[in-house]
Structure 1
């Protein structure tokens, strides 16, 4: 588990048990880095992430009186320019930190008796939740390179951030605020869409 700033941590999904049981706040899931890179790793990494982005671009939203499809604008991914001295092991290490620079696929909050660790554990063990990630990887054509267990998690322990002396309602309100702002800022592909 790594800490990137005060109270914000990130780790691989299969390491959820390392999250303190007392952690309450917001969290996000990120796509797993590609597994088993070959000697052509720079092109593989570019293709993997550009395919995931393309697969997650469209959203269909419908209600009793409407149906609309929203498409994100392509980000214009081009071949990355790398110095030939960039070694595969350094690329693999850097990919572990990718959730610092990419949009999440899913954002949630856990503030009640069941904290972040229990919520992530339930999602990690959920066949339906895993199916949503695998389905996105299949849609992108990268399912052979995708390992759900390596998905990245980033979380903010709001209770810790507030000094550990805030009431449950305060932690819930701040966490809810951060979840909504994250949702609208990032528009994560695997969240149920909220709106009017």
Structure 2
């Protein structure tokens, strides 16, 4: 498979609809990791300092250590993006295709470097030709295919997709018009 750099996203395809970020871990897991970092910051303070310092001073030192550790390890969410799922309206018919772009490594530690996202190929294709689906039904069908990419065997298996924007916007998008389908 030929690898293409991220700058070429959408250049040879149809019109972009959405880009959905894939993260290394869920926000809940990230919060747990941040709490582990906070415990590390607390353990780095000398016991003698803790005994003589006021609670406010301890909090300031703890916050500085935490900021340093977060800066060193990367903050959530942007430093944790390991891939993108790009939805494209690729005509001439009412067709939605999804392409995956990922970082090349297989395993991701808490602190990893984002190099170049590489094109992984087409993830799925949905054809809505002769469809009598409503706008919400079209959005639901697209969403279910997106979620399948994180299932076993999917290219984003075990990853967390940030679908908040997609879920928020799909209720106001006229999917039938956007895909060139006649009104119901």
State TM-score, norm by structure 2. 0.31
State TM-score, norm by structure 1. 0.30
Q: Who wins on radius of gyration, i.e. which is larger?
A: 2
